[in-house]
Homo-oligomer: A and B are copies of this chain.
Amino acid sequence: MSALEFPKAPSDKKILEEGAVFSPRFDASGLVTVVVTDAEDGMLLMVAHMNAQALALTLETGIAHYWSRSRNALWKKGETSGNFQHVVEMRTDCDQDALWLRVKVLGHDATCHTGRRSCFYRTVGLIDGKGTLADDGSKPLFDAEKTYRKPL
């Protein structure tokens, strides 16, 4: 557990937007949205969420922690795969309800659970009036099935 706490967001919009106090605005579920890009080339790697504890641990350790909404649990990214994210820079947006992490990915330099470098491997287009996806051809950088296989 971390002892780091975050102050309540100020009601004064000017202070929230122009001030120096970090007062993240967690949503009704206690989460903020986190955008994660590669610090070197800017590639968008993933979009995830943090609760106050994950955010505090990230700030204190320099290694990205999230809140897994599917598993309902604290999630130190890379714990199974070795693909930890070293935080090079954290930013927040004007109204402090979103965070941006610029990271260096360790291990296989892969972020997606499919084994690919980025979760955003498909482009969206309209074909014959229907939303259609096209794979960008990025290949898995590790064997996801083997890595995430649950022990018998």
| Interfacial residues, chain A to chain B (CB-CB below 8 A) | 4, 6, 17-24, 33, 35, 37, 41-44, 46-47, 59-60, 89-94, 98-100, 112-114, 119-126, 129-135
Contacts and interface: CB of A to CB of B under 8 A. Distances in A.
A60 B114 contact: no
A113 B94 contact: yes
A120 B93 contact: yes
B133 A119 contact: no
Given A35-B47, A42-B42, A47-B35, A4 B94 contact: no
A90 B4 CA distance: 37
A125 B60 CA distance: 10
Given A59-B124, A91-B124, A123-B91, A47 B33 contact: yes
A124 B59 CA distance: 9
Instruction: Please indicate which of the listed interface residues A98, A114, A131 has the most CB atoms of chain B within 10 Å of its own CB.
Output: A131
Contacts of A91: 44, 120-124
26 contacts: A6-B131, A17-B114, A19-B133, A20-B132, A20-B133, A20-B134, A21-B131, A22-B132, A22-B133, A23-B131, A24-B131, A33-B33, A37-B42, A41-B42, A42-B43, A46-B93, A47-B93, A59-B125, A60-B126, A89-B123, A91-B121, A91-B122, A91-B124, A92-B122, A93-B112, A94-B114
